[in-house]
Amino acid sequence: MTLSGDAPTPDTRSSPASSSAQPASAKAVSASWTWVPIRSLGPRHRERIAAHLLALGPHDRYLRFGYPATDAQMSKYVDMLDFEHDEVFGIFSRRLELIAMAHLAHATAKPGATTPSMSEFGVSVLPNARGRGFGRRLFEHAMLHARNRGVQTLFIHALSENVAMLKIARNAGATVERDGSETEAFLKLPPDTLASHVGEMVEQQAAEFDYRLKRHAHQVNGMFDVLAEVKSSLAKTSRIAEE
C-alpha cells in the first residue's frame, strides 16, 4: 500500500536514483551510536499504531500523509496495513506506548523479479519524543531491512517544508528533488552482505527481548496497582467496621 492517499506508488515513478543517487553514506549509521530497540510490528499492534497516529496533531498529520488526515482516514489506513507485504516497525516507551513508528511500503516486484526494486518510507515520532534521533534510527533500520530484502532504492515523499525529514534523507546520502511544495528523495542502497543480515538478526532479537522485559514490568506494575487498591479498600472496610 502507499503511504499517502495522494502519492503514486513508487514503482509507477520514473526514478533517477539508478543514475544519480549516491550510495548510502556511512554517516547515518555511525553518528553518535547508542542502541535504540526497534521492534517489528504485526496485526496485533493495530490498536497501538492507531493510538500513536491519532495522537498526532493536524500539522503533523499533514506532514506525515501529505494531507490533513482525519481520525477516520487514519483508522482506515491502520485497518489496511498489510503486514505480510510491507514492514512496520516501532519504538516503545517503558510504558509500552508506541512513541515512534515507520512504515516501509514495498512496491510490487516487477514480472520475473523476486524482490521489489523500490520501497517507500514513512515515519512519525510523537512530539514529546522528537529531537532524540528516533526518526533517524528508524530510517537506518529501514535501510538495513530493505537492503536485506534486495531492495535497491528507498523512496521518501515529503513536503518541501519538512526540514527534519529531508535532513534525515540528505544525511543518509539521498538525492533530493524539489518540485514546489513537494519533494522526493531517492536513496540508493548497497547490496546485502552476511554482516547486514547478522546485524538485522541481532537487532531484532535484542529488540524483542527488550519488549518482553517492558511488557513484564508493565504487568508487574499492574499487579502492584491492583494490590494497592485491594489494600486501600481493606483498610476502608476495617475503618467502617471499627466505627
Identify the residue whose cell numbers are 528507498: 154
10 binds ligand COA, rule: CB under 6 A: no
132 binds ligand COA, rule: CB under 6 A: yes
Identify the residue whose cell numbers are 516501509: 104
13 binds ligand COA, rule: CB under 6 A: no
Residue ranges of alpha helices (H) inside 21-157 are 27-30, 46-54, 58-65, 71-80, 134-148
185 binds ligand COA, rule: CB under 6 A: no
Name which position in 83, 133, 148, 206 contacts ligand COA (CB under 6 A).
133
Q: Which stretch binds ligand COA (CB under 6 A): 41-49, 84-92, 130-138, 142-150?
A: 130-138
178 binds ligand COA, rule: CB under 6 A: no
- Give the H/E segment covering residue 234: helix 194-242
Nearer to ligand COA (CB atom), residue 124 or residue 153: 124
162 binds ligand COA, rule: CB under 6 A: yes
29 binds ligand COA, rule: CB under 6 A: no
105 binds ligand COA, rule: CB under 6 A: no
Type of residue at 32:
S
- DSSP letter at 38 equals -
Please, which of residues 134-153 interact with ligand COA by CB under 6 A? 134-136
Q: Which stretch binds ligand COA (CB under 6 A): 33-41, 68-76, 88-96, 129-137?
A: 129-137
Strands 182-188 and 175-179: antiparallel
How near is the Cβ of 168 to ligand COA at its closest, in Å? 5
Per-residue three-class SS string for 148-193: HCCCCEEEEEEECCCHHHHHHHHHCCCEEEEECCEEEEEEECCCCC
53 binds ligand COA, rule: CB under 6 A: no
Q: Strand, helix or coil at 10? A: helix
Name which position in 40, 75, 115, 171 contacts ligand COA (CB under 6 A).
171
Q: How buried is residue 176: exposed, middle or buried, by Cβ count under 10 Å (0-12/13-18/19+)?
A: middle
Name which position in 8, 16, 57, 131 contacts ligand COA (CB under 6 A).
131
